[in-house]
Amino acid sequence: MSGIQSPVTPDSVTQGSVVVDGVRSPWIQAGDKSASEAVVFTHGSPGCAAEFTQLVAQTGKFSRAIALDMPGFGGADKPPPRAFEYSVANIGVHLAKQLEALGVERAQLVGHDFGGAFNLLAAAYSPDRVGSIVMINSGLMRGYRWHRIARIYRTPLLGELFMMIANKRGFAFAMRSLPDWLVDQMWSNFDRSTRRAVLALYRATAMGDQAEQLPAIRMLSREWPALVIFGMDDPYLPATLASRNTESLPNATIELIGGAGHWPHAELPQATADLLLPFLRANVSD
């Protein structure tokens, strides 16, 4: 149905899809599917909803929990950039519309990588819908400089050449901290259309523009509980920048996980769950 796969998917996790503005996105879900409040897990680039399967199942024991494939990624529709704007702002608005279509009136937003930025823009679009914010190796971090691969993506022609010659061996090396099943899943999703979406997203994202958004996001987020979880060995986002999330999320608690890289929820799932689940339990309405 959705193309979202995990080697061990609990029976409590179901699959489906939602269509917004003509773009279909698969989802996985657990918990009370009719609840108007949900914990929402949002992946980054080149991620997919499957990376949150176990967290969705665990969260489903006390709340409705949802993870979606964002447009251009995973098993979602992948329209060309001329037909869909692959920017943080547009995907954030799209996510807010997805949640509306799914009947989510209050959301505890958990985002990894670009997913955290998507969540913040979704929150800005519908601030009354937000219960709390969790950033996993993510953030609008002043002073961040693009990593080497991102600089290649952002360079016309060089980025296209890099994508053209990409192979599974190189992809697996870049994702070597992840379990094999997730590397295989991400590689199977990394088709020509996703590669095109990745280039468009990186080229539409300017660090200066994100920094300018900090005061507005901070103003909105003054009442939101927030948690920042960061793998200390992230080769793409230096953990030294994790605390700068407080510039946009003044209530944020910063938690660093030693021995984890860019995907702590996949690399050290228990350590991540031990930090994340109590926070979510405390903020989900009774």
Q: What is the DSSP string of 18-74?
A: EEETTEEEEEEEES-TT-SEEEEEE--TT--GGGGHHHHHHHTTTSEEEEEPPTTST
Backbone angles phi, psi at 130, to 5 degrees: -90, 130
Of the listed ranges 52-66, 90-104, 206-220, 225-239, the least confidently predicted one is: 206-220
The chain-wide mean pLDDT, for the chain, equals 94
Residue 125 resides in a domain: yes
pLDDT recorded at residue 6:
63
Residue 166 resides in a domain: no
Residue 242 resides in a domain: yes
Could you give the count of Cα atoms lying within 13 Å of 7 in the half-sphere of its Cβ?
Answer: 6
Supply the DSSP symbol for 144.
-
Q: Is the pTM of this model over 0.85?
A: yes
Could you give the count of Cα atoms lying within 13 Å of 58 in the half-sphere of its Cβ?
Answer: 17
**pLDDT of 4 strictly over 60:** no
Which CATH number is 212's domain given?
A: 3.40.50.1820
**pLDDT of 2 strictly over 50:** no
pLDDT digits (tens, 9 = 90+) for 174-210: 999 999 999 999 999 999 999 999 999 999 998 766 7
Instruction: Give the CA distances from residue 179 to residues 7, 58, 96, 224, in Å, rounded to whole numbers and listed in that order.
Output: 10, 19, 30, 33
Query: Based on the structure, what is the number of domains in the chain?
Result: 1
Residue that has been written with the tokens 């949640």 in this structure: 99
Residue 217 pLDDT class (50, 70, 90 cuts): confident
Residue 68 resides in a domain: yes
Residue 244 resides in a domain: yes
Q: How far is CA 78 from the centre of its chain?
A: 17
pLDDT digits (tens, 9 = 90+) for 130-189: 999 999 999 887 788 899 999 999 999 999 999 999 999 999 999 999 999 999 999 999
Residue 104 resides in a domain: yes
pLDDT digits (tens, 9 = 90+) for 104-126: 999 999 999 999 999 999 999 99
pLDDT recorded at residue 143:
81
Which residues lie closer than 8 Å to 189 by C-beta, 6 or more apart?
Answer: 3, 46, 48, 73, 74, 75
pLDDT recorded at residue 123:
95
* Residue-range definition of the domain harbouring residue 273: 14-145+207-283
Residue 76 pLDDT class (50, 70, 90 cuts): very high
The pairs formed by 150-157 with CB atoms below 8 angstroms and a separation of 24 or more are 150/202, 150/236, 153/198, 153/199, 153/202, 153/203, 154/202, 154/203
Residue 157 resides in a domain: no
Residue 197 resides in a domain: no
